[in-house]
Amino acid sequence: MSIPDILQTGIKNVRNIDRFVFGSGSIEELEIILLKQKDKSESSYSIYFIDIFFQEKKNILSRLPINDADRVIFVSTQDEPTTDYIDSIYSNLLENNLSDPYAIIGIGGGISLDVAKAIANLLPNGGICSDYQGWDLVKKPSVYKIAIPTLSGTGAEATRTCVVTNKETGLKLGMNSDYSVYNQVIMDPDLTKTVPRDQYFFTGMDAYIHSFEALNGIYRNPIGDSLSQISIQYCREIFNSGDMQSDENRSKLMVASYMGGAAIATSYVGLVHPFSAGLSVALGLHHCVANCMTMRAMEEFYKNEYDEFWLMTKTQSIDVPKINHSLLSANQYDALYEAAIVHEKPLTNALGTEFKTVLTKDKVIELFKMM
């Protein structure tokens, strides 16, 4: 099958992260990495973006080489990041003459890592966050940035995007750019020990879902396929086991997350992510939970993966939330449709350029009513 023109942009010449460290205790490498970067710069400070979960976790904060000149920003994860939220952080940094750090460090799950990416892009490029929502709109290299994931699954540590919701336009889109790729990733499985069980499952499923979306899409390449297959195989081993959060499985899931993120950086997602984006934009649901809710409507499109997903939820005794449709208005269904159908690239990857003949408005709303 020929590749549609719309899919022939942005990811053909793939960029990966520059360096990574993996293993128990590898967070201790951060100080050495930062010192080397500081030596290359005239700047005297770095900026940390840390999941607010860790604000009171002194055992984690004490292990970070934070100096008096550095700025620490705790990232709210109650809601997914919006353009307004990113713009407010950026404006505050400018007002406090903090526009030229020698490094930005993101510590947390996908939200914290994406916020760090977005600010790293904005600082040298200027403007507002929504200026860069789309493909290859970031024109200048971002600030040197380091990812330290404390959740596994989203692959934010490896992807070329940072996803942000624009409440005014109703669009949930990323700064999809080579400049969004992290320069350094530190993967320490010890940091995922405190993740609540349900959150561990929902977030881990993001790696499984975007990997099978890539494998079932039009835009394929052998390297991306191999990475997706590794990620899926690890997810199967983890989520069909008796203890999905064992030390070994947490290490495996961190690998699956990185591999899945690297895979999707060479391809596109499919049907699940646009519908998940609709749930996030219109109903305020978090991405990974929304992915799992979307799987209720995916039997028609991904039969084998649908069956496997629900078997894994049963094995792990995970209760996936449902939409209370009695509370939704016609306007909310309209918003769900608009927020999903706008994702042209992944929908083309899944169904071809004529995807709207399959995904009529009635069909899309019918699928949302299954969730």
User: Burial of 139 by CB count in 10 Å (0-12 exposed, 13-18 middle, 19+ buried)?
Assistant: exposed
In the chain, where the domains are located = 19-192, 197-368
Q: Given this structure, which CATH class describes domain 19-192? A: alpha beta
> What pTM does this model have?
0.94
**For 292-299, what is the mean pLDDT?**
98
To the nearest whole percent, how much of the chain has pLDDT over 90?
A: 89
pLDDT in tens, 125-183: 999 999 999 989 999 999 999 999 999 999 999 999 999 999 888 888 899 999 999 99
The band of 1, judged by pLDDT with boundaries at 50, 70 and 90, is low
| Across 101-117, average pLDDT | 97
Identify the pLDDT of residue 212. 98
| pLDDT tens profile 237-262 | 999 999 999 999 999 999 999 999 99
Which of 2.40.10.120, 1.10.600.10, 3.60.21.10, 1.20.1090.10 is the CATH number of 197-368? Answer: 1.20.1090.10
Beta-bridge partner residues of 330? none
pLDDT tens, position by position, 35-75: 999 999 999 999 999 999 999 887 788 999 999 999 999 99
Average pLDDT of the chain to the nearest whole number: 95
Number of H helices, E strands in the chain: 14, 9
Average pLDDT on 302-313 reads 98
Per DSSP, helices labelled H in the chain are: 30-39, 58-61, 83-95, 110-125, 197-215, 222-239, 247-264, 272-283, 287-294, 303-315, 330-341, 344-351, 355-358, 361-368
